[in-house]
Structure 1
Amino acid sequence: MQLTRKQFLGSMVGAAAAIAAPRAFSQSTVTLRLHQFLPPQAPIPRDAIGNWVKKVQEESKGRIRIQQFPSMQLGGRPPELFDQAKNGVVDIAWTVLGYTPGRFPKTEVFELPFFTGKAVHSSAAIYDYIQQHAADEFQDVKLLAAHTHGAGLFHSKTPITKLEEIKGKKVRGGSRIINIMLEQLGAVPVGMPVPQVGEALSKGVIEVATLPWEVAPSLRIPQLVKNHTGFSGPHGLYTQTFALVMNPAKYNSLPDDLKAVIDANSGLELSKAFGQVLDDADVTGLKMAQDAKNNIITLDEAETKRWQDAAASTRESWFTEVKGRGIDGAKLASEAERLVAQYSVS
């Protein structure tokens, strides 16, 4: 069948449009919504997430635009953030893994007492560990980064100088493992997300908060309490685990060149960068308490050893618990500690 001139020209236009379509698609602009629970002035949203957003937008030449929504502005509660990213309610979420108890049983090994120190080291270790041992816990999202904060310590209304002085006190805990540890140390654990801590201290709901130094300024901790107790040695009392995750369908919908931008700004180096931000912020938080002439206590090696011995039962009870889920907790703890040590000297 011969085509008329009109039909021929129409077919040529259609073919040209088909050829041009991928090019037009690849030049499109994508807007991603990033949701998290901290106020924008806190170190993670201001410096870690903020720097990442700027880098992604610049390297995509403005074709990826990321809208940041702090302080749960898009609704829900902090424990719902992981599912918001998983289900596509938001495109990207930054969250505390311990806010959903029992969901990340392999990853929570990093929350065991006296397990980690500097955040930059343990953040590299936890990302590497997840790739090797806990990738199944993140199969419903695209994991962009995983990290921890620095050494956790006590912030209290009255001084804590020895183990006996924590007994009976109402202490904020940020995760299931931390609450178990606090109970075994003789305290009364009160679980709550970070944003509630300041009000809880001011109203007497809690007497003591477990927090790293970095979050103290944004919660006004040095104004609310005057005593801060840390420990000797390279490891803090505890840490918490965090993840920056993306909805997989949203990621898969991106053209290949924009996927490459996300990939180039994800992984081990991003995890380390988040950890370094928190280490730097720990210095700032400590200085604020020093400037306020607060009572900063570092327990000596002998007293620290008493706390470590008292908290050892938390590790053993965790091993027993996860064994019931078919997880070799002792093996995972050994591997996690090996990675922490590896990145601490690298």
Structure 2
Amino acid sequence: MKKMNMGKFLVVTGLAISMLAGLAQAETVLTWTDGAPNRGTRVEATIWMGDELEKRTNGELKLEYHWAGALMKFKAATKGIGAGAADMGLIVAAYNPKLHAAYSIADLPMQYSDPWVGARSIYELVKNNADIQEEFHNLNLQYITNITTTQIELICKDKSLKSVEDIDGLKVRGISVYGKVFSDLGATPVSMSSADAYQGLSTGLIDCTQMYGYAIPAFKLQEVANEVTKLDWGALMGMAYVMNKDVYDNLPDDQKAILDQLGSDFIDHYAGKIIAGNKQAYEDLAAGIDGNNVNIVDFPEAEKVKLQEASAPYIEEWRKEAEQAGFDAGKMYDQYQDYLRKYNDERLDKGYPWNR
């Protein structure tokens, strides 16, 4: 009897070990690298994406997050993820413009500044343009989805802007092409991080800083600046969530399909959250936060047109660099414009997807 019990024990134990081994094989933990700290609306949306990935794959795929550059800094992410130092993460085209000659189209000032319209359009462009797909694949990256900073605005200390002429002579912290255009319009460019803008405004080192609605109270800029001019001037969108292509290619087809669908779903989820964040931020700023009152004005439509006209040389500069890299820049730009018009018309006709 004892021998029989021992035999059963061994059989049951063997089955248990086999089942545990099968479960271990079924669960894949993907390392996520992110240069930003673990806070804010974008991070919350990223965690939502991880939760959804785990739920939709029945726990077979999970994300393990590494925030604030703990695994690698933003500048290293493009090559690092491609080399397999992380499975997934956020890359920023502006940190490696020569590696992203095609994808950098996402950072160009466009006449459509709505966050959902922009993010949905650049997502569709990347998914459907062979040149941008090739650029990502040559970096051994699989594009998953996109984020956006939302509309470019200016917050200034004692400076209310009513025309592009009012920019002349101001000390402005600007970023990317937008900073170059401010300089062309007569501003003195001052290089500093968004985290340093508070001190820059407080000390008078800068008069204004390029910023985004939700980020103004996040950085407490209302404590040192009192004028917001809503330029609603394009957005920085050269920021992609990507996966190492070897890792992606080795996933089962059903997991690839789930990941691809989640990338599309993320656009709507993130845009909805960030638009709500902007709206709440401006309501709070207008009402006054801790006694700090901020005047919020809309830049006149005619002046917005002048900003677009001033951006034209940099669009042409991008076009030449993309063509030199071997891409059909004209086709890419026209395709992008088509998507922007399509989704802007859809927004005006049907509203946002989350409100339908």
Is the pair's TM-score, using the shorter chain for normalization, greater than 0.5?
A: yes
For 1:344 and 1:309, how far apart are their aligned partners in 2? Answer: 20
Report what 2:155 is aligned to.
Answer: 155
Partner Cα distance (2:328, 2:191) in 1: 27
Letter in 1 for 2:178: I
CA separation of 1:198 and 1:90: change in aligned 2, threshold 3 A: farther
Within 2, Cα distance between the matches of 1:188 and 1:101? 24
Q: Quote the residue 1:36 is aligned against.
A: 34
Q: Secondary structure at the match of 1:158?
A: coil
Mark the CA change 1:279 to 1:26 in structure 2 (over 3 Å): closer, same or farther.
Answer: same
Question: Which of 44, 64, 74 does residue 61 from structure 2 map onto?
Answer: 64
Shift in Å at residue 190 of structure 1? Answer: 4.0
Between the aligned partners of 2:199 and 2:75, the Cα distance in structure 1 is 19
Is 1:281 aligned to 2:277, yes or no? yes
Any idea what the Cα deviations from partners look like across 1:185-240, whole Å, max 9, x if unmatched? 22233455545544554555543221221322322232332111123xxx525433
1:10-67 per-residue CA deviation (whole Å, 9 max, x = no partner) reads: xxx9xx99xx79x827753222222223332211001x10211111122233333322
Q: Is 1:304 matched with 2:304?
A: yes
- What is the DSSP-based 3-state SS (H/G/I as helix, E as strand, rest coil) of the residue aligned with 1:95? strand
Residues 165-188 of structure 1, C-alpha deviation per residue, up to 9 Å, x if partnerless? 32243323332x233323222223
C-alpha contact 1:174 1:240 (8 A) present in aligned 2: no
Question: C-alpha distance in 2, partners of 1:193/1:256?
Answer: 42
Does structure 1 conserve the Cα–Cα contact (< 8 Å) formed by 2:34 and 2:73? no
Q: Does 1:343 align with 2:343?
A: yes
Q: How far apart, CA to CA, are the structure 2 residues paired with 1:323 and 1:63?
A: 42
**For residues 27 and 151 of structure 1, do their structure 2 counterparts lie closer, same or farther at Cα, with a shift above 3 Å needed?**
same
Quick one: distance in 1 between partners of 2:250 and 2:229? 48
How far apart, CA to CA, are the structure 2 residues paired with 1:99 and 1:174? 11
Larger RCO: Structure 1 or Structure 2 (Cα < 8 Å, ≥ 6 residues apart)? 1
1:123–1:271: 8 Å Cα contact kept in structure 2?
Answer: yes
Could you tell me which amino acid in structure 1 is paired with residue 154 of structure 2? Answer: F
Q: What corresponds to 1:83 in structure 2?
A: 79
Secondary structure of the structure 1 residue equivalent to 2:267: helix
Rounded Cα–Cα distance in structure 2 between residues aligned with 1:324 and 1:304: 31
Question: What is the TM-score when the length of structure 1 is the normalising length?
Answer: 0.80
Deviations 1:291-338 (A, max 9, x none): 223011212223333333333333344444444444454443332111
In the superposition, relative to structure 1, how do residues 167 and 334 fare at CA in structure 2: closer, same or farther (>3 Å)? same
Verify: 1:242 aligned to 2:243, yes or no. no
Distance 1:142 1:316, change over 3 A: closer
Shift of 1:119: 1.2
Deviation at 1:282, TM superposition (A): 1.6
Tell whether the 8 Å contact from 2:152 to 2:233 is kept in structure 1 after alignment: yes
Q: 1:119-158 maps to which residues of 2 (within 5 A)? A: 119-133=115-129, 134-139=132-137, 140-158=140-158
- Partner residue in 1 for 2:165: 164
Letter in 1 for 2:128: Q
- 2:22 aligned residue (21, 24, 48): 24
Cα separation, partners in 2 of 1:57 and 1:313, compared to 1, 3 Å: same
CA contact (8 A) 2:34 2:68 kept: yes
Paired with 2:209 and 2:118, the residues of 1 have a C-alpha distance of: 22
**Aligned residues of 1:174 and 1:192 also touching (Cα < 8 A):** no
Quote how far apart the aligned CAs of 1:278 are. Answer: 2.1
Secondary structure at 2:51 match in 1: helix
Q: d(CA) in 2 for partners of 1:204 and 1:87? A: 44
Task: Classify 1:55/1:228 alpha carbon distance in 2 versus 1 (closer, same or farther; 3 Å).
Answer: same
Gaps of 5+ in 2: 1-10, 347-356
Aligned residue number for residue 354 of structure 2: none
One-letter identity of the residue aligned with 2:149: H
Moved more, 251-260 or 287-296: 251-260
Q: Deviations over 1:242-270 (max 9, x none)?
A: 1011122333454555445434422x332
User: Post-superposition shift, 1:113?
Assistant: 2.3
Shift in alpha-carbon separation, 1:257–1:302, aligned structure 2, 3 A: closer
**Contact kept in structure 2, 1:110 and 1:116, CA below 8 Å:** no
Aligned to 2:4: none
The answer to whether residue 268 in structure 2 is matched with residue 272 in structure 1 is: yes
Percent pairwise identity: 21
Query: What is the letter of the counterpart of residue 345 of structure 1?
Result: D
Extract unaligned runs of 5+ from structure 1.
1-12
What is the RMSD computed on CA atoms of the aligned residues?
3.1
Does structure 1 retain, via aligned residues, the 8 Å contact 2:119–2:237?
Answer: no
